Amino acid sequence: MKIEKKDLPKSRVFLRIILTPKEFQKFIDEAIDTLKYQTKIRGFRPEKAPKEILIEQIGRDRILSEAVEKALPQSFVDALIAKKLVSVGRPEVKIETFGFKKGLVYT
């Protein structure tokens, strides 16, 4: 994970957090594991369908959405710890890019 930090006025901080595709893959796998319990695929026992079939059935967008929801809180806390910061308020998050082969970049 790469973290870019810029100090702003009034004790505010701008963070740009970059997860490589390899780092983001962990969250994609977690999302698939979560969603497979909510998906019934004909011809397979519950939760036993191959990953590729699950991706096809569930849809890439839904999996990526779930992966981003899982990645944001964890990577944000990791970034705060790495930069020795304390969050006082709710952060304003803007996602720049995300994808299976793009990883995740947000500010």
The one-digit pLDDT tens for each residue of the chain (107 residues) are 999 999 999 889 999 999 999 999 999 999 999 998 888 888 888 778 888 998 898 999 999 999 999 999 999 999 999 999 999 888 999 999 999 999 999 99
Identify the CA nearest to 100 among candidates 46, 15, 22, 7.
22
pTM: 0.87
**What confidence score (pLDDT) does residue 32 get?**
92
CA distances from 99 to 52, 84, 103 (A): 16, 29, 6
Write out the H or E segment, with its range, that includes residue 56.
helix 51-58
Encoded tokens for 87: 């969050």
